[in-house]
Chains A and B, each alone.
Chain A
Amino acid sequence: MATDTRSLLIRYSHCLAAIMLSVALGWHSPLQAELQTLDDAELSEVDGAGIGLVLDNFTFSHGTDQPGENGEQGRIFRITGIKSTDGRDVDITVNHLYIAGAGSNYGENLTPVNLGRLVNPWRIGVVDGNDIGVPNKAILELAAPSKVMASEGYDCMGASAVAGSGTCSSRPATDDWRGERADIGMQMNVAVGGDRSSNLNLHAQSAVIDGSYIRLWGDDERRQMAGQFKLNLYSPEVSINACSQDGSVCGSRITMADFALELAIGNSLQPVFFDVDGGGNFILEVDSIARPAVGQIAANGQRSGSNAETWDYYNSYYSNPDLRSNLRIGNFSVGDRDFGSARVEGMLIQHLKIQTKDLAP
């Protein structure tokens, strides 16, 4: 809302925290002192408390109603603007999106749930980059409840897990407590042009996303927003099925039991960069790791004979499990047919570049 009042233009810079700090200081009665900007290294030393967030007794539900006699709809939830490769409009009608307590029977029976624990809440805060391998940077972090020691935590899958059974902080529902694990689901209907498909349903039962986070900061060299993204999703059952448009007839349910996804995009050595190019296309990029200089690593690859610091750097890059993504499925089944378990482990994203392209003619 600058000169064009309608358009609020915010130029993102890594001094976001500095601005907030100056606003906070400026809020009080007249200050005569001149305010000076803090650089990244100084800001990274700031130890402020973050904000903890807990959703207590929470239920969310929205969807799209069937049109009434006169074609009117009470509720509409629609995602549009996507084009198919042949230029037709794609319209995703969300029939139902819910976040509710465990045992919802695929969203039929919504009960409240807690998200985050008072002793381990969702967090928004500025963290010191020196603690997480991004030296001398102040980092904006949005994080789900963190993982805890296995001696204190709960098994991430088990519906009746007890304390000391795993590393998840969020607890399953018990008779006395509604727990912090939510049933999440979405029923949607995809139409390409005039062709409306059957309904597609996705459900995750008793889902936990502990240990997930988004971290953002400004990269000096590239003068660009950099980040780290980690998504952990644990659920005893993730299922996908398709039903007819009125929901009366459903096909076989694809069920993934004991589903565990640990997805890491960007890390402290290879952050993910965000950009928009001149043509208005969004670009997401994970840069490849720099090659070692000639002579830094011995011909036999051993540490002795190599530059120790360089060797350790690459060793930690290739051996650190936190940088890798995993997908584990306890049992994959379609209808009443079991296909057993599946595991994809230790994926390291060494280079990634995703660029949106406008397909509109």
Chain B
Amino acid sequence: MSRGTFRFSLASLVCFGLQALPVSVLAEMAPLGDDALSDVSGQGGIYLSGDISINEVGGPVENSYFGRCEEQDKKCGARFAYRLKEDGGWMVLDEIRGKFSFEGLTLRVRSIDSGFGGDGEVFDRDVIELGLPDTVRFSDVQFKLAASSTARPTDPGFQQTDIFAIEMQGDVVMQGNLLVFPDGNP
């Protein structure tokens, strides 16, 4: 398993995604025989440490409503609005901000053919395993659930009812592995 510690943000994740886009390759590819293939040992997975922060000091928009977090009369969290009905109002996740720091989030492919109280033997397939870090440090993580008459707070006729807000801080225990695999035929 390769180890490396780095800091990444949502933006760098996007860049990573773009870099992974296929580009045209001109070299001719030759098949590898079984013998040659048996000598290849791939990396066991990815080990990530770092933090993800969302609007820690404020977002990119600055207007009459949004601003930097130190500006008392401005909102600095992200806003996510979705509409449930044609010409209806909007459900809103508002003032989303905070920082999640973790060490040791792992990503690998795991072959399962035993264990799981007997299920492993029946299952006998590969899964993507996301190894959760034992603890994730939440710094000023908060969001608010609200219902709003308009998508943007700067739109005319804006009216919003906050339903509740969640605030989380400190070390959150999150142990275990999340296994992801294709399932069934709906």
Residues of A near any B CB (own CB < 8 A): 4-12, 27-29, 47-62, 65, 73-82, 110, 112, 114, 117-119, 121, 123, 125-128, 131, 141, 171, 174, 176-177, 179, 222-225, 273-282, 356, 358
Q: B152 to A61, Cβ gap below 8 A? A: no
Query: With the chains together, A308 CA to B166 CA distance in Å?
Result: 53
Q: Apart from A52-B180, A277-B88, A281-B147, what 19 extra A-B contacts exist at CB < 8 Å? A: A4-B63, A10-B82, A11-B83, A12-B83, A51-B180, A57-B176, A59-B175, A74-B171, A81-B144, A82-B164, A112-B175, A118-B179, A123-B184, A141-B186, A177-B116, A179-B117, A224-B86, A276-B83, A282-B163
B168 within 8 A of A: yes
B22 within 8 A of A: yes
Contact pick for A119, options B55, B123, B146, B148, CB 8 Å: B123
Can you spell out 17 A-B residue pairs with CB atoms less than 8 angstroms apart?
A: A12-B82, A47-B186, A49-B182, A49-B186, A51-B183, A55-B178, A58-B176, A60-B172, A79-B166, A80-B167, A112-B176, A118-B181, A273-B85, A276-B89, A280-B146, A280-B147, A281-B161
State the main secondary structure of chain B at its contact with A.
Answer: strand
> Given A49-B182, A73-B170, does the pair A275, B151 have CB atoms closer than 8 Å?
no
Query: With the chains together, A235 CA to B15 CA distance in Å?
Result: 46
Query: With the chains together, A50 CA to B183 CA distance in Å?
Result: 5
Residues on the B chain within 8 Å of A47, using CB: 185-186
Residues on the B chain within 8 Å of A77, using CB: 167-169
Residues on the B chain within 8 Å of A81, using CB: 144, 162-165
Tell me the chain B residues, 67-99 only, with Cβ under 8 Å from chain A: 78-86, 88-91
B173 within 8 A of A: yes
Q: A76 to B169, Cβ gap below 8 A? A: yes
> Given A4-B152, A119-B123, does the pair A80, B84 have CB atoms closer than 8 Å?
no
A-B Cβ contacts below 8 A, count: 230
Shortest Cβ gap from A217 to chain B (Å): 12
Residues on the B chain within 8 Å of A79, using CB: 164-167
Shortest Cβ gap from B138 to chain A (Å): 8
Residues on the A chain within 8 Å of B123, using CB: 118-119
Residues on the B chain within 8 Å of A55, using CB: 176-179
Residues on the A chain within 8 Å of B24, using CB: 29
B109 within 8 A of A: no
Query: With the chains together, A11 CA to B90 CA distance in Å?
Result: 9
Contact pick for B179, options A56, A62, A119, CB 8 Å: A56
> Given A7-B151, A65-B170, does the pair A126, B186 have CB atoms closer than 8 Å?
yes
Contact pick for A53, options B21, B66, B116, B179, CB 8 Å: B179
